Amino acid sequence: MNEYSHLISRLISEGHLKTEKIISAFYSVPRIDFLLKEGKPYAYVDEPIPIGFDQTMSAPHMVAIMIELLDLKEGDNVLEIGTGSGWNAAIMSKLVSDSGKIHTVEIVDGLYDLSKKYLKEYKNVDIVKGDGSIGLKEYAPYDKIIVTCAAPKIPEELSSQLKENGLIVIPIGTVLMQELIVGTKRGNAIEKTNYGVCRFVSMKGKSGFK
């Protein structure tokens, strides 16, 4: 068993990876391919890893938890806020298949350039440079929205771009600590379920932390 298979087996045994199609997607998208040279020795450690520009790639267990909660289907139209280096988007692209689309927004110039390089073979991933805290209304409404940075609350712009009964997975709280929230859109409201404490880098932009 190679190191990546060992990591995935650990995520399964700990209950973070549960769904067969998600496990397969993880196997098909090695984490090491989305890390800078200095981060590659730590690719198989279940911890966040710096990807430059004062940003990090989330720990594998957190990526697994969030993608499991997002409940992606083939054909889903998905919005991701915070592309990072692109690992999360690459995994999701496998789950929505060619009939689906991942629109991922990155505000940091250097990470936008990096993710364009790493995701060039993923034809159903659209990478946009911009302020993800206000969403991406030109491709709305979305079946699912995933936010990979901490926000003080669910931005109204994201709520308005979500389909009825659509899901948003987002860390909500303070700069130092957040709670992982899954929201389901019901009319003009978002029904929230709390999935525990987490810690993410802060959201930038209009609806981020001031």
Q: Which residues are catalytically annotated?
A: 58
CA distance linking residue 25 with residue 2, whole number of Å: 17
Q: What is the dihedral of CA 65, 166, 90, 2, to 10 degrees?
A: 30
- Under DSSP, the state recorded for 58 is P
**Residue 89, token pair as written in the block:** 């988007």
87-108 b/e (C-beta count within 10 Å ≥ 16 → b): bbbbbbbbbbeeebbbbbbbbb
Comparing CA positions, the residue from 110, 119, 153, 113 lying closest to residue 133 is 153
Tell me the H-state helices in the chain. 3-13, 20-28, 60-70, 87-96, 109-118, 156-160
Q: Tell me the residue type at 111.
A: L
